[in-house]
Structure 1
């Protein structure tokens, strides 16, 4: 068992590896393998799948042979059925590790080809699935296997994955913006200038070091972002962005829980925008432009709009995807036991999420939480 300080240092190291992959996609394979080994898992799989169908954007497998991976791919329909089918899988909260032995009844495990023909012969006794993103354009998932020789799967491993999952999600979101192009072997400035959204490189004090043409146009139009005395200012969420940039410089591991994949903002006419923050300080792969910067800010349009009130509610109170999923179910009238069954989580995990929601929103009871959401729903939907 790692000491608390050693664990914090390990998580910080692993978070750095994840963000390195944004600028150099070839690093995804060693990064996923390092994370798998550091946390004691038997195998790890990271996948990004475009919708409705198409070539896999990113596929990384660690800890298994090509033959085993091919067998696993063929068992895909059985695995989905094992976890309760597409509808139930869509109920699982993003970024939350869902443990197979908790979410799946024992009789279903005993009848599953995945378990009897693939997992058990290899000594795999449990698995964890993490949904990173589900939207009309893509699905991304992260999964791990646990070997019987590793002993009991404990909360330490789950907590580590909870810390890492938001960074995987953020890195993949930004990689999608960059179309997973390697910026190490190409002309970084040319790539930045060709991006169809605003890109701003800043130092720790939010001083602007570089802006691409789209970003310059946004500054000129005072669209979401402004320049005051050489510093970038984003109206409404400036303090939040500044905090994220400071985290980028000193403690990037804290960034994942402070904004999900991005921060909600609004354009001059109320158009929804998303501000993505990519930590750059200390990134090994960064070319010259990046080495001088603390963070890269990407400002994009919200492709699907901001779903109100729940997503706006999450943005207002800094709720994680797992926490907002719990809020949705509270508003729907489910009990904690029903939420646990619906989400495939331990009752204690649901309770923890709910207590964090109470703390962040300043309420003490589920009925007060429902009233708070209801009080915001009308104005937010106008």
Structure 2
């Protein structure tokens, strides 16, 4: 079954990867995906199960009024998807309402009655990019009665696009709740004389300031290998990876000063990396809550490189 002519499919996949270089292309690319799927509208979102909210969303075809109406029904949507995700065999399989819900379940759904039916939407599908106990990200495809319910052709096309969407979203970090702050944050980091790098929990470099870029170019204690931060000295490489992992998994165990890793061998002048956790996202810590609310973006660490 041909989902799209090969040249059209290639062009669409190329548009998805273009978004990694310019996130401003996402609106146009999402519109192209919606057209290919014969969709009435489409949403790219990161969802918080605990708060029953969308932390980040980009949409095409949804009017603001109906997006606001859909938000009212997020507890119902999340309850259905949470049960389905907990039992699904593979995230590569989409949730297609016309195939997963009985007609009586759709008729009983306030979401269908109050939000979808008034727009003429007869089917809704969820293609999942990521799923954890607290969050999931997805592409939501809505089909109008003019196009009818999702067919095997659209489901297969969505599954073909899914791995490319996952990679592009990961690379461009479109779902990073701090994205809108990044330009201002970069300016502040560049003003520092010491080298500062932001990484994810695996050590993948998200952002180096200017001083850190110099250190990477000159090979001063650190290096980049396939996008990953590594210590040049073999004796420090494993310790640095362990420190980053601990910063991501056990902030409380690090104390206030973080972890210091010596990057140079004993014969060379000392150069240290200070590994500190920096909670991602824009979540606040309300004084009335005992536990920290889950944040939407990955935990990051700041590593300050300075000589002692």
Normalising to structure 1: TM-score of the pair? Answer: 0.47
| Aligned CA distance change for structure 1 residues 56 and 178 (closer, same or farther; 3 Å) | closer
In 2, are the aligned partners of 1:199 and 1:211 still within 8 Å (CA)? no
Matches within 5 A, 1:332-347: none
In 2, are the aligned partners of 1:25 and 1:181 still within 8 Å (CA)? no
Matches within 5 A, 1:174-189: 174=171, 175=173, 180=179
CA distances 1:278-312 after superposition (whole Å, capped 9, x unpaired): xxxxxxxxxxxxxxxxxxxxxx96957xxxxxxxx
Whether 1:87 aligns to 2:99 is no
User: Which residue is equivalent to 1:220?
Assistant: 232
Among 123, 130, 137, the residue aligned to 1:140 = 137
In 2, are the aligned partners of 1:97 and 1:130 still within 8 Å (CA)? yes
CA distances 1:303-360 after superposition (whole Å, capped 9, x unpaired): 57xxxxxxxxxxxxxxxxxxxxxxxxxxxxxxxxxxxxxxxxxxxxxxxxxxxxxxxx
Among 198, 203, 206, the residue aligned to 1:196 = 198
CA distances 1:89-130 after superposition (whole Å, capped 9, x unpaired): 333332322111111122111111122222223221111012
In 2, are the aligned partners of 1:25 and 1:182 still within 8 Å (CA)? no
| Aligned CA distance change for structure 1 residues 194 and 168 (closer, same or farther; 3 Å) | farther
Among 113, 116, 119, the residue aligned to 1:122 = 119
Shift of 1:49: 3.7
User: Which residue is equivalent to 1:66?
Assistant: 64
Shift of 1:23: 3.0
Shift of 1:8: 2.8
Unaligned runs of 5+ in 1: 201-209, 224-266, 273-299, 305-382
Q: How many residues align structurally?
A: 222
Among 23, 29, 34, the residue aligned to 1:25 = 23
| Aligned CA distance change for structure 1 residues 30 and 98 (closer, same or farther; 3 Å) | same
Unaligned runs of 5+ in 2: 207-214, 250-308
- For 2:146, what is the secondary structure of its paired residue? helix
- For 1:150, what is the secondary structure of its paired residue? coil
> 2:52 and 2:73 mapped to 1: Cα distance?
19
> 2:47 and 2:165 mapped to 1: Cα distance?
15
> 2:78 and 2:51 mapped to 1: Cα distance?
17
> 1:116 and 1:128 mapped to 2: Cα distance?
17
Shift of 1:77: 2.2
Shift of 1:57: 5.0
- For 2:198, what is the secondary structure of its paired residue? coil
Which structure's CA Rg is the greater one?
Answer: 2
Shift of 1:46: 0.9
| Aligned CA distance change for structure 1 residues 8 and 196 (closer, same or farther; 3 Å) | same
CA distances 1:151-178 after superposition (whole Å, capped 9, x unpaired): 4532111111101112222222231679
User: Which residue is equivalent to 1:322?
Assistant: none
- For 1:162, what is the secondary structure of its paired residue? helix
> 2:104 and 2:43 mapped to 1: Cα distance?
25
Normalising to structure 2: TM-score of the pair? Answer: 0.57
Shift of 1:50: 5.8
- For 1:128, what is the secondary structure of its paired residue? strand
Higher normalized helix content (fraction of residues) = 1
Among 6, 9, 27, the residue aligned to 2:7 = 9
